[in-house]
C-alpha cells in the first residue's frame, strides 16, 4: 500500500491540475475612503495589475465600493487612482509610491478577495488663472509634473474655464522622520493650436521654475505665456526665383505649425514659440528641403529663436526625384509604403495605402536623389508578410519605376500555461533568425487563455523562444523554453517557414523560477540546491560545469553518473519540512515531462529514496553528492 502512495498522490495532483486549467478568473473588492475622516470617495479607478503591467479595472460607486472582476490568477498589485477633479492622493496598496514596492496578492482561481481598502489623504492644490495680454484664456490644459524621486510618476491636470480659472489637486509631499518635505512640481500650459510653455514664462523646459507644495496646502498662481516670436522668409530655386505653392512647416517637438507659401515663395509664422525649431518645406516639382538647405533630415540644423525676436531666412530648394511603385497582389486597407535612404537611416516618405492601391501605380514625389529602398508593411492584423525592394537609385529630375510583390506570411499558434494547468497571460513568444540571434524578427504575447497567435511572418528559418519578462526585478519569473521543448538555444530545433504556412507549435509549460537564475525551482529542490537564491554560477560537484549548464543539459549538478545510469537526488537540507511534498511534486512533473530517459534527471526511485532519507533524518547534515551517499 505504501508503494502505491506516490502514484495516488500523482493522480490527485494531475486531477487538480486539470481542474485548475478550466477554473475561472478571480475577483477583488474593497472600499476607498478619505483620510482621516473616512468619507466615501466616488469615481476612483482601482487597477489590479499583474507583473507585466496589464490591468483589470474597476471604479468606486457613491459609497466608495468597487469590484474588479476577470482578474487572472497569480501575482497582482492594486492601485487606487483618483480622478483629476478630486483633491486626493492616489497610492499603491498599502500606501506605497511605486509599482514594484507595492504589496502583492497571489490570487487563486475563483478566489473572491475582499476588504482591499484604501484611505486616500488630501493633496496639495495649485489654482489661478491663465491669461494672455490680460485676457482670460479658456480651454487651456494646465499640467503639474512631479520632479522628486517619490513624485516622479505623478502628473495631475486641469482645464481652464471661460474665465481662465484652473485648479489642480492631488499633489503630494513626503514625510521623512518628523519633517514634511514639499514636493517639487513643474507647471506647463498647452492651448489648442499653440505650443506648450512653462511657468514662469518660457518655451524652454529647462528654464521652468518648480513650485514647492505640501499636502493640504494651496498656492495661487496666474499663468502668463512668454512673448511670442516671428519667423518669416522666402523659398528660392537654383536661379534665385521664388518657389510658388510651397507648404512650410516648423516643428518644436510636441508643437508644430504649417503655413502656405505665397506665389513668390514668401512665408510668415506669427505668435511662434521661441527656442529650437526645425524648418522644412515642400513644393510642386521640388525635393523636400530642411533648413539650412539640405534634403535629408539627418543634415538639418535647428533655428534658435529668442522670445519676441523676428527672424528672416532664405531656403534654397532643388528639383525632385520621383518614384513610381506598382504593387502586385491585393493590398489591405492600412498597409504602409515606406521609402528609406540607402543607408537605412532617414525615412524619405511614408504613405498609408487604401485597399485599391494595387489597381494603379503609386507615385511618390518630392524625393531627394541617391540610393534608397522600399518596404511594404502589412496592415495591422494582416496575414501578409513584409515586402522589400532591392536598392533603388533615384535621379534628380527623373522618374524611377519599381515593383513590390505581396505574399502571404506564415502564421504561428501556441498555448502557454503554468505548471499545474493554469493559462499564463503575458508570456512572450519571439522568433530569431538562425544566423542573427541578436535581433527579434517577430514577437507576440499570450492572452488570458494562454493563447498566442503570430501572423504575417516573413519566410525564414527561425528559432522560437517563449519566456516571461516581469517588469520588477525580483518578481517571480519562469524558465524560458525553446521550441520544441529545449532548455537552451543550442538544444533548440529550427522551423523553416514558407509563405502561407500555418504552424501549430503546441503547448509550452513554463516552470517557475522564483530567484531568476534560469533554473526550474523544483529541479533545484530535487537536487538540494537553493530555489530562493541565484546559484546558477555555482559548481557544487567541482566538475567545471556550473549549475545552469547542468540544468540545461539535463545532467547531475552533484556528481558525474556513469553513462546509461539514472541520477539520484540528494535529500538536501533535512530541516525543510516541506521537502517531501515538493519532491513528490517534482516526481509528478517528471512523470509528465518529455525528457528522454537516457538524460540525467531525478528518477522515481531516487525521489522516493530521498523522501525516505529526509523523513528519517534527526539532525541537520551537510549536503551530500552521489559519491558519498
The reply to whether 522 falls in a domain is no
Shared domain for 426 and 387, answered yes or no, is no
pLDDT band at 600 (very low <50, low <70, confident <90, very high): low
Which of 10-14, 99-103, 575-579 tops mean pLDDT?
Answer: 99-103
pLDDT in tens, 71-94: 999 899 999 999 999 999 999 998
Residue 248 scores a pLDDT above 90: yes
Between 133 and 4, residue with greater pLDDT: 133
Shared domain for 30 and 58, answered yes or no, is yes
Task: Report the CATH number that the domain containing residue 482 is assigned in CATH.
Answer: 2.60.40.1120
Shared domain for 422 and 496, answered yes or no, is yes
Whether the full predicted model's pTM is greater than 0.75, yes or no, is no
CA angle 214, 215, 220 (to 5 degrees): 65
Average pLDDT over residues 283-300: 94
- Residue of 231, 203, 197, 250 lying closest to 309 (CA atoms): 231
Shared domain for 115 and 130, answered yes or no, is no
The reply to whether 493 falls in a domain is yes
Strands 310-316 and 229-236: parallel
- Please give the Cα distance from 441 to 458 (Å, whole number): 9
Last residue of a domain, one of 223, 255, 287: 223
pLDDT in tens, 114-132: 999 999 999 999 999 999 9
Where is 591: in which H helix or E strand? helix 579-592
- Kindly report each contact of residues 57-60 with a partner whose C-beta sits within 8 Å and lies 24 or more positions away, as own/partner: 60/31, 60/32
The reply to whether 586 falls in a domain is no
Shared domain for 494 and 415, answered yes or no, is yes
Residue 295, C-alpha cell as written in the block: 534634403
- Return the residue matching grid coordinates 522551423: 495
CB 274 within 8 A of CB 309: yes
Residue 609 scores a pLDDT above 60: no
The reply to whether 461 falls in a domain is yes
Residue 577 scores a pLDDT above 60: no
- Residue of 603, 592, 411 lying closest to 509 (CA atoms): 592
Last residue of a domain, one of 181, 208, 223: 223
The reply to whether 2 falls in a domain is no
Last residue of a domain, one of 255, 284, 316: 316
Residues 6+ apart with CB under 8 A from 268: 230, 231, 232, 233, 259
Shared domain for 300 and 357, answered yes or no, is no
Residues in the chain, how many?
Answer: 629
Which of 226-230, 564-568, 590-594 tops mean pLDDT?
Answer: 226-230
The reply to whether 453 falls in a domain is yes
pLDDT band at 333 (very low <50, low <70, confident <90, very high): confident
pLDDT of residue 627: 30
- Please give the Cα distance from 592 to 409 (Å, whole number): 35
- Please give the Cα distance from 85 to 459 (Å, whole number): 52
pLDDT of residue 615: 42
CB 429 within 8 A of CB 521: no
Shared domain for 291 and 306, answered yes or no, is yes
pLDDT in tens, 471-505: 898 888 999 999 999 999 999 999 999 999 999 99
- Residue of 556, 546, 562 lying closest to 624 (CA atoms): 556
- Please give the Cα distance from 542 to 531 (Å, whole number): 20
pLDDT in tens, 156-192: 999 999 999 999 999 999 988 889 999 999 999 998 8
Residue 63 scores a pLDDT above 80: yes
Residues 6+ apart with CB under 8 A from 455: 381, 382, 383, 409, 411
Could you tell me the residue range of the domain that residue 52 belongs to?
26-121
- Please give the Cα distance from 628 to 50 (Å, whole number): 45
Shared domain for 281 and 360, answered yes or no, is no
- Please give the Cα distance from 241 to 263 (Å, whole number): 11
pLDDT of residue 48: 98
pLDDT of residue 535: 94
Between 358 and 388, residue with greater pLDDT: 388
Strands 460-467 and 105-107: unpaired
Task: Report the CATH number that the domain containing residue 58 is assigned in CATH.
Answer: 2.60.40.10
The reply to whether 186 falls in a domain is yes
Residue 566 scores a pLDDT above 60: no
Q: How many domains are there within the chain?
A: 5
Shared domain for 294 and 378, answered yes or no, is no
E strand segments, 52-162: 55-59, 65-71, 74-81, 91-92, 105-107, 112-113, 118-121, 124-129, 131-132, 135-136, 141-146, 155-159
Shared domain for 58 and 108, answered yes or no, is yes
- Please give the Cα distance from 233 to 256 (Å, whole number): 17
Residue 325: CA count within 13 A, CB half-sphere: 30
Residue 569 scores a pLDDT above 80: no
Mean pLDDT, the chain, integer: 85
Rg (CA), the chain: 32
**Residue 608 — φ and ψ, nearest 5°?**
-60, -40
Shared domain for 145 and 58, answered yes or no, is no
Residue 587 scores a pLDDT above 60: no
CA angle 418, 534, 92 (to 5 degrees): 65
Shared domain for 206 and 291, answered yes or no, is no
DSSP designation for 297 = G
Residue 145 scores a pLDDT above 70: yes
Amino acid at each position: 500500500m505504501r508503494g502505491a502512495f506516490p502514484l495516488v498522490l500523482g493522480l490527485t495532483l494531475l486531477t487538480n491540475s486539470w481542474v485548475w486549467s478550466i477554473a475561472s478568473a478571480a475577483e477583488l473588492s474593497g472600499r476607498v475612503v478619505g483620510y482621516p475622516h473616512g468619507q466615501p470617495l466616488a469615481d476612483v479607478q482601482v487597477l489590479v495589475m499583474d507583473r507585466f503591467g496589464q490591468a483589470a479595472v474597476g471604479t468606486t460607486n457613491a459609497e466608495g465600493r468597487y469590484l474588479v472582476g476577470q482578474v487572472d490568477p497569480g501575482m497582482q498589485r492594486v492601485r487606487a487612482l483618483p480622478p483629476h477633479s478630486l483633491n486626493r492622493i492616489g497610492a499603491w496598496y498599502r500606501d506605497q509610491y511605486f509599482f514594484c514596492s507595492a504589496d502583492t496578492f497571489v490570487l487563486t482561481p475563483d478566489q473572491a478577495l475582499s476588504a482591499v481598502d484604501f484611505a486616500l489623504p488630501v493633496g496639495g492644490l495649485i489654482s489661478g488663472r491663465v491669461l494672455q495680454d490680460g485676457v482670460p484664456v479658456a480651454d487651456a490644459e494646465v499640467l503639474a509634473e512631479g520632479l522628486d524621486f517619490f513624485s516622479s510618476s505623478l502628473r495631475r491636470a486641469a482645464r481652464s474655464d471661460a474665465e481662465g480659472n484652473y485648479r489642480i489637486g492631488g499633489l503630494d509631499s513626503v514625510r521623512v522622520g518628523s519633517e514634511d518635505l514639499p514636493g517639487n512640481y513643474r507647471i506647463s500650459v498647452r492651448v489648442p493650436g499653440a505650443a506648450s510653455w512653462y511657468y514662469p514664462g518660457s518655451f524652454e523646459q529647462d528654464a521652468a521654475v518648480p513650485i514647492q507644495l505640501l499636502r493640504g496646502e494651496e498656492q495661487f498662481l496666474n499663468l502668463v505665456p512668454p512673448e511670442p516670436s516671428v519667423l518669416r522668409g522666402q523659398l528660392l530655386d537654383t536661379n534665385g526665383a521664388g518657389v510658388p505653392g510651397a507648404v512650410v512647416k516648423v516643428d518644436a517637438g510636441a508643437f508644430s505649425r504649417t503655413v502656405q507659401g505665397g506665389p513668390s515663395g514668401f512665408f510668415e509664422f506669427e505668435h511662434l514659440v521661441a527656442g529650437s525649431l526645425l524648418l522644412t518645406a515642400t513644393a510642386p516639382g521640388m525635393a523636400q528641403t530642411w533648413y539650412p538647405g539640405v534634403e535629408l533630415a539627418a543634415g538639418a540644423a535647428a533655428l534658435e529663436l529668442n522670445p519676441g525676436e523676428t527672424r528672416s531666412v532664405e531656403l534654397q530648394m532643388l528639383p525632385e526625384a520621383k518614384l513610381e511603385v506598382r504593387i502586385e497582389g491585393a493590398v489591405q486597407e492600412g498597409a504602409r509604403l515606406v521609402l528609406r535612404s540607402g543607408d537605412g537611416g532617414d525615412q524619405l516618405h511614408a504613405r498609408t495605402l487604401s485597399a485599391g492601391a494595387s489597381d494603379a501605380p503609386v507615385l511618390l514625389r518630392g524625393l531627394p536623389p541617391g540610393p534608397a529602398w522600399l518596404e511594404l508593411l502589412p496592415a495591422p492584423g494582416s496575414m501578409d508578410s513584409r515586402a522589400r525592394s532591392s536598392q533603388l537609385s533615384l535621379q534628380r529630375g527623373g522618374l524611377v519605376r519599381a515593383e513590390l510583390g505581396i505574399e502571404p506570411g506564415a502564421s504561428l499558434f501556441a498555448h502557454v500555461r503554468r505548471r499545474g494547468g493554469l493559462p499564463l497571460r503575458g508570456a512572450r513568444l519571439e522568433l530569431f533568425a538562425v544566423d542573427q540571434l541578436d535581433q527579434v524578427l517577430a514577437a507576440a504575447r499570450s492572452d488570458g487563455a494562454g493563447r498566442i497567435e503570430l501572423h504575417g511572418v516573413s519566410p525564414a528559418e527561425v528559432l522560437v523562444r517563449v519566456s516571461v519578462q516581469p517588469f520588477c526585478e525580483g518578481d517571480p519569473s519562469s524558465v524560458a523554453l525553446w521550441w520544441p521543448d529545449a532548455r537552451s538555444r543550442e538544444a533548440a530545433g529550427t522551423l523553416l517557414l514558407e509563405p502561407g504556412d500555418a504552424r501549430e507549435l503546441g503547448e509550452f509549460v513554463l516552470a517557475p523560477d522564483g530567484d531568476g537564475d534560469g533554473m526550474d525551482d523544483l529541479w533545484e529542490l530535487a537536487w538540494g540546491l537553493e530555489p530562493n537564491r541565484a546559484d546558477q554560477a555555482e559548481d557544487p560537484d567541482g566538475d567545471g560545469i556550473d549549475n545552469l549548464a547542468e540544468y540545461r543539459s539535463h545532467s547531475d549538478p552533484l556528481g558525474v553518473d556513469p553513462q546509461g545510469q539514472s541520477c539520484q537526488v540528494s535529500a538536501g537540507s533535512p530541516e525543510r519540512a516541506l521537502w517531501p511534498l515538493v519532491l513528490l511534486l517534482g516526481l509528478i512533473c517528471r512523470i509528465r515531462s518529455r525528457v528522454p530517459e537516457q538524460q540525467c534527471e531525478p528518477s522515481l526511485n531516487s525521489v522516493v529514496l530521498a523522501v525516505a532519507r529526509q523523513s528519517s533524518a534527526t539532525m541537520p547534515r551537510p549536503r551530500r553528492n552521489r559519491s558519498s551517499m
